[in-house]
Each structure stands twice: as structure tokens, then as C-alpha cells.
Amino acid sequence: MNTGETLEHAAVREVKEETGLDVEIVRLLFEEEYQYGKSYCYLANLIGEISKPSLAFLPEEETVFGTMLHSAAWHSITDKKDDMQVSKVIAILGLNYD
């Protein structure tokens, strides 16, 4: 996070920097502890036309973390319903994809 930045502003900025997409935060869905600190999951709306996401290349992060992401694409939530994070979102939103 940047100095003086709220969690919501950081989320919007990170989405833009890492995918090229503009979003607006609707609400916080959940937060959880993990080995590097705390993770926050927000529900967000896409602003403007649905476009193809793109990945940012951040050389400083590549040096520290190695290659983490290779591509970005839209997926159906039903195809990802068994993913640990996606299943939490589905439960919190009260969606049924059984």
C-alpha cells in the first residue's frame, strides 16, 4: 500500500496496475491471515466495457518473487467453484453452483 492509501484504493490501483482493468469496490467480502500478513477479498464491479485483461510486468517483483503469473483470462465462476478462494466468495454471496 502507498502512504495514506485506503485498502479500497489500494485494491482499485492494484487491479489497474496488474490487469489494466478499471473497477469500483462494492464491499469487503472477507479478510484472512496468511504467512505474509493479511489478505483482503473485495467484490468489485468492472467499469466500462468488458475487455481482455492483460498482465503487468514488474521487474522488481520478478527479481524478488520469481515468475508468478504467465497469463490472464476470464473464467466462468462455475469452472472455478472448487478453488479455495472462489468457494469462499460463492458462500459469502449466497450463490448456488452445485
Q: Convert the pLDDT of each residue in 66-80 to its tens digit.
A: 555 666 777 788 888
E-strand ranges in 1-87 read 23-34, 37-46
Which residues, in sequence order, are bridge partners of residue 86?
A: none
CATH number of 7-93: 3.90.79.10
pTM over 0.85: no
Do 95 and 76 touch, CB atoms closer than 8 A?
no
Say how far apart CA 74 and CA 86 lie, in whole Å.
14
Q: Could you report the per-residue pLDDT of 11-59, keeping only the tens digit for each?
A: 999 888 888 888 999 999 999 998 888 999 999 998 987 667 666 656 5
